[in-house]
Amino acid sequence: MASSTTSINGQKVRFGQGLRNDICAELSELGSAKALVLSTPQQVDMAMELATTIGDRAAGVFTRATMHTPVDVTEEAVEHAQSVQADSIVSIGGGSTIGLGKAIALRTGLPQIAVPTTYAGSEATPILGQTEGGIKTTLTDPKVLPRVILYDPELVASLPPAMTVTSALNAMAHAAEALYAKDRTEQTTELAIDGLKAFATGLPKVIEQPGDLTARAETQKGAWACGTVLGLVGMALHHKLCHTLGGSFNLPHAETHAIVLPHAIAYNAQDVPELLAPISKVLGGTNPGQALWSFAEQMGAPMALKDLGLAEADLDRATEIALKNPYWNPRPITADGLRVLLQNAWAGNAPSD
């Protein structure tokens, strides 16, 4: 399989099978002699394998990365990095592990190499979400952008089918909202459409054959395109709603994105159908929300928030919280409209037209 390298926002981005084994060349280029490898507890094996590849240039392995980047874990990791005199960070994992790498970089200035194993796209953004005292805040700072990304399709091949689908829809959500972003440009729209196309063709293949590395590579190119647009333009209703549901009701990140996306897009398509038309063009049909809903259903995605443990009685409160901090959206957000949207997403109904 051919490998390729691209560069945007000062990041070096490489795609290719087995690229994780090239990690030492990247460390040399960064001038790093002691790299701290990060992972979640669930991916210790991957982290240990990478540390073995790095050999005596590995300063150690820190395996306590946690969803939503809790500040206490970051402080522990910073202390660890300093105690082993790490001069770079290598994050192997999804958004949680890459988030920890960014949080360490913010506090220490250490350069990071990201080796993504999901499609969430955090590696391509200068955005960091952190949690303290149960409250998640988000900042944007060029200091947190990893210097290098190594996309190795063998690493996403181990993603279980359910996570493959939800993570892909999480990535597609960045692209879908980029299509109507207030600060969109021709370049971001083009990247968003490229990302959507990559998943529209690649995802059905990896669902059928999880070890199809050519299709996995295609989905990783999609993840990069979708993550890059997330870093370049502002998001709206869909991302804010998922933030509310995740933060206030402790719902899982990628699954929530997968379920809410068709409904949020159907809501906004009523006011900006022409901007969202690329979605139906890529996925088929004439209605972008319906197209996403059918695609998600065909891919075996979870379809109902009730299946994630959200109670119907919570929908009024979720509507209230989501309305509390107003933000820009292409269609005005009304309490009634939002409540209907949430009811449909909760029950697993098709989105309202």
Nearer CB in complex with ligand NAD: 156/172: 156
Contact positions toward ligand NAD, by CB under 6 A? 40, 42-43, 67-68, 93-97, 99, 117-118, 120-122, 125, 127-129, 155-156, 158-159, 163, 167, 170, 230, 253-254
What is the nearest approach in angstroms of ligand NAD to the Cβ of residue 305? 17
Nearer CB in complex with ligand NAD: 147/253: 253
Nearer CB in complex with ligand NAD: 57/240: 240
What is the nearest approach in angstroms of ligand NAD to the Cβ of residue 158? 4
What is the nearest approach in angstroms of ligand NAD to the Cβ of residue 336? 29
What is the nearest approach in angstroms of ligand NAD to the Cβ of residue 156? 6
Please answer whether residues 70 and 131 qualify as being in contact, where contact means their C-beta atoms are separated by less than 8 angstroms. yes
Nearer CB in complex with ligand NAD: 74/122: 122
Nearer CB in complex with ligand NAD: 108/349: 108
Strand duo 35-38 + 112-116: pairing: unpaired
Nearer CB in complex with ligand NAD: 126/348: 126
What is the nearest approach in angstroms of ligand NAD to the Cβ of residue 96? 3
Longest dimension (CA), the chain: 60
- What are the Cα distances from residue 224, in Å, to 39, 290, 317, 340? 20, 25, 35, 33
DSSP 300: T
Residue with tokens 């969803």: 67
Please answer whether residues 153 and 17 qualify as being in contact, where contact means their C-beta atoms are separated by less than 8 angstroms. yes
What is the nearest approach in angstroms of ligand NAD to the Cβ of residue 148? 16
* H/E element, 270: none
What is the nearest approach in angstroms of ligand NAD to the Cβ of residue 247? 10
Please answer whether residues 147 and 30 qualify as being in contact, where contact means their C-beta atoms are separated by less than 8 angstroms. yes
What is the nearest approach in angstroms of ligand NAD to the Cβ of residue 256? 10
Nearer CB in complex with ligand NAD: 246/351: 246
Please answer whether residues 100 and 145 qualify as being in contact, where contact means their C-beta atoms are separated by less than 8 angstroms. no
Closest Cα partner for 152 from 285, 274, 18? 18
Nearer CB in complex with ligand NAD: 128/181: 128
Residue closest to ligand NAD when measured from CB atoms? 95
Task: Report the residue count for the chain.
Answer: 353
Q: Is 107 exposed, middle or buried (0-12, 13-18, 19+ CB in 10 A)?
A: middle
Strand duo 11-15 + 4-8: pairing: antiparallel
Q: State the number of CA atoms in the 13 A half-sphere of 209 facing the CB.
A: 8
Q: Is 135 exposed, middle or buried (0-12, 13-18, 19+ CB in 10 A)?
A: exposed
Closest Cα partner for 118 from 80, 77, 171, 73? 171
Round to whole Å and give the CA distance between 223 and 169: 10
